[in-house]
A and B are shown apart, each in its own frame.
Chain A
Amino acid sequence: MKTHLWLLFLKMTLKILLGELMKTIKKDKIAKLLDFLADKYELFAPTSKDGLVVSFERIEEGKQAKLRFYNSNEAPKKLFFPQSETLFSYSKGERETVPEPKTEQQRIIFGLKPCDTKSLSLLDKVFDTTDFKDPYYTQKRVNTIIFTLACNRPQSSCFCTALGLGPFLKEGADVFVVDLDDKYLFEPITQKGEDLLKEIPGLEEAAEKDISYSKELADGTEAKITTKIQLDRLKEKLDEIFDESVWDEIHQKCLGCGVCTYLCPTCHCFDIVDEQVNDKGKRIRIWDSCMYPAFTLEASGHNPKPTGKERMRQRIMHKFNYFVETYDEIACVGCGRCLRNCPACMDITKVIEQINNLK
């Protein structure tokens, strides 16, 4: 089995290296391409009602997509891990069974940025493990094809490169799309992506200059992101300073509003509530946030994270220490949503800098 996969991988890499699989389409034809996809799949793309705030929504027509954008306001994690999701319903008197989650339709998400695509790989580590597969999440994941759109317009608040990622990162994509000014370049990354590209009509073979221009754009864009974070020994440093007084300062201006966790593409804490009236009820999974006072409030009244200090520490530790400990990766993709939207202008890059500068 493994050999078979390796051979497949080699074959694809070779093909890609030879530029055989890469396709292009002129920009004025992209709406039609999206129409084609919307016909056969549930198509999600970046849209905007007011031309400013972008959000990934289901579209019926290609022209509804806004493909030149900084990034969506809300993280696309909501397409796999919605804010409110009914897990099952129950009725008193009937034998209670947990119904299988309904089979999700085949979906395509077009235009996901590399940072958000990477965030899905990080969420997979939590929701799709060898021991446990969250059926609600995995059903959606398995039925979704991702067209990652390379980011050639990072914002001043972006810092994906500081985390070893990048605006042209292909990890997690099924098809990697690059905006080459007058056309789009499509590169299949997975077999799923390659098979889908074969279905799409009107694609042209990528020319050598298309591929080299794409590389040029990649280098140029990476250079635009200037924020740096020192990641060397960060995890170990965090282990050492758990009880230090620096946390008293760090959390001071935080309002505990939770916006950072809600907009963060990798944050995944949730609460489960039962809503019942008389003899009918349902169990709903909703987002929770480590920034809320009631997050770790126990039935006895004891709260192991009683103040903003413990909760802010929890957030930083989870992203840069606990997640690294458990999954060997930092739970942050540098999308900058927390920076842009924090009402108190908390800057996680500055917090890390402050921690790194200790002692």
Chain B
Amino acid sequence: MDKKAENWEPKILAFLCSWCSYAGADLAGVSRLQYPTNIRIIKVPCSGRINPVFIVKALQAGWDGVLVSGCHPGDCHYLSGNYYARRRFAILKRLLEYAGIEQGRVHFAWISAGEGKKFAKTVGEVTEVIEKLGPATRLVKAELGNGKKK
């Protein structure tokens, strides 16, 4: 899909850990905070559950952006899941950008259960960045996902 297509809206996949970030998203909801609706959420038990393959596959499937969020370091429900995740994401982000995936396609955040406002703000920022980048074309598999053609 062309960026010039008037009705293009970014589609952003979010992996949220159920104990902190997902709860934070819930809080944003009950607090009636406004944030862009471009986001689709997958709940995972812990940010440490996230296999970098999920993110690579999401980019392949045509998602315009990926947001990964977990508990603040030290607050992980499983004690150390997010510590491992932090290392993984550091490597993954650098490798993806080095390999030519545009900076700004993949985002990471620490959002706690009480940070409804932070959640809304983060989603807003991420959506804005990705809107500027335009539709994802790199790594997107032809004829796969979102009806996009290469």
Give Cα distance in the complex from A282 to B143, angstroms. 10
A131 and B145 CA atoms in complex are apart in Å by 40
Classify the secondary structure of B's interface with A: loop
C-alpha gap A277/B142 in the complex (Å):
11
A188: min CB distance to chain B, Å: 43
Closest chain B residue to A275 by CB distance?
A: B144
Judge if A68 is at the interface, Cβ distance under 8 Å: no
A275 to B145 alpha-carbon distance, docked (Å): 12
Interface string of A275-301 (1 = CB under 8 A from B): 101001010000000000000000000
Expressed in whole angstroms, the Cα–Cα distance for A277 and B145 within the complex equals 7
Q: In whole angstroms, how far apart are the Cα atoms of A106 and B145 in the complex?
A: 36
- Interfacial chain A residues near B144, Cβ < 8 Å: 275, 277
Report the minimal beta-carbon distance from B4 to chain A, rounded to whole angstroms. 25
Minimal Cβ-Cβ distance residue in B for A282: B143
What A residues does B143 contact at CB under 8 A? 277, 280, 282
Of all chain A residues, the one with the shortest Cβ separation from B62 is A277
* Cα distance, A70 to B143, chains bound together (Å): 40
Binary CB contact string for chain A from 233 to 277 against chain B (1 if under 8 A, 0 otherwise): 000000000000000000000000000000000000000000101
Name the residue of chain B whose CB is nearest to the CB of A277: B144
- Give the shortest distance, in Å, between A276 (CB) and chain B (any CB): 10
Q: Tell me the B120-150 residues at the A interface (CB within 8 Å).
A: 143-145
CA distance A323 to B32 in the complex (A): 73
Chain B residue contacts of A277, Cβ below 8 A: 61, 143-145
**Smallest CB separation, A248 vs chain B (Å):** 37
Q: Which B residues are CB-close (under 8 A) to A282?
A: 143
A34 CA / B130 CA spacing, docked (Å): 50
Q: Give the complex CA separation of A280 and B145 in angstroms.
A: 10
Instruction: Please encode chain A, from 136 to 152, with 1 for each CB lying within 8 Å of some chain B CB and 0 for all others.
Output: 00000000000000000
Nearest to B61 among chain A residues (CB) is A277
Closest to A278 in B: B145
Q: How far is the CB of A152 from chain B (nearest CB, A)?
A: 44
Whole-angstrom CA separation of A295 from B130 in the bound complex:
43
The CA of A235 and the CA of B57, in the complex, are separated in Å by 48
Q: In the complex, A275→B60 CA distance in Å?
A: 14
Distance in Å: Cβ of B98 to nearest Cβ of chain A = 25
Interface mask (B78-97 → A, CB under 8 Å = 1, otherwise 0) = 00000000000000000000
Closest beta carbon of chain A to B62's beta carbon, Å: 10
Least Cβ distance of B136 to chain A in Å?
A: 16
CA distance A280 to B61 in the complex (A): 14
Alpha-carbon distance between A277 and B147 when the two chains are bound, in angstroms: 10
- In angstroms, Cα B144 to Cα A277, docked, is 6
The residue of chain B having its C-beta at the shortest distance from the C-beta of A281 within the complex is: B143
Residues on A with beta carbons closer than 8 Å to the beta carbon of B61: 277
Which B residue sits closest to A89, measured CB to CB?
A: B143
Task: Provide the residues of chain A in CB contact with B145, threshold 8 Å.
Answer: 277
A78 to B143, CA, bound (A): 24
What residues of chain B lie closer than 8 Å to A275, measured between beta carbons? 144
7 CB-based A-B contacts, threshold 8 Å: A275-B144, A277-B61, A277-B143, A277-B144, A277-B145, A280-B143, A282-B143
B residues adjacent to A (C-beta < 8 A)? 61, 143-145
Per CB-CB distance, the 5 closest pairs between chain A and chain B, nearest first, are A277-B144, A277-B145, A280-B143, A277-B143, A282-B143
